[in-house]
Amino acid sequence: MRLNDIIISTIATASVADAAKARRANCPNIHIFGARETTAPPGFGSASTVVDLVMNANDGATSESIVYPAAGGNEYASSVSSGILAVANQTNTFNQMCPDSKIVVVGYSQGAQIVDDAFCGGPDGTSLNTSMALVSTGVSEMVAAIILMGDPRHVNGLPYNVGNATAGGFAARPAGFQCPAFENIIQEYCDAADPFCAKGNSTATHQGYGREYGQAALQFVQSKLGASNNTKASASTSGGTNDVPASAAGRTRLGEGYMWMLLALGGLVL
Active site annotation includes 234: no
Residue 124 CB neighbour total at 10 angstroms? 23
How many C-alpha atoms does 137 have within 13 Å on its Cβ side? 0
Catalytic residue among 31, 81, 151, 206: 206
Strand 143-149 versus strand 161-162 pairing type = unpaired
Catalytic residue among 46, 48, 79, 109: 109
Q: Cα separation of 253 and 61, whole Å?
A: 9
Active site annotation includes 206: yes
Q: Cα separation of 230 and 226, whole Å?
A: 9
Q: Cα separation of 186 and 11, whole Å?
A: 45
Which amino acid is it at 124? D
Strand 252-253 versus strand 161-162 pairing type = unpaired
* Cβ-Cβ contacts under 8 Å for 71 (sequence gap 6 or more): 38, 39, 78, 79
Omega within 30 of 0 (cis) for the link into 123: yes
CB 188 within 8 A of CB 150: no
If DSSP codes are grouped into helix, strand and coil, which group holds residue 232?
coil
Closest CA to 170 of 239, 240, 76, 243: 76
Catalytic residue among 116, 117, 191, 194: 194
R_g over Cα of the chain: 20
Active site annotation includes 151: no
Catalytic residue annotation: 109, 194, 206
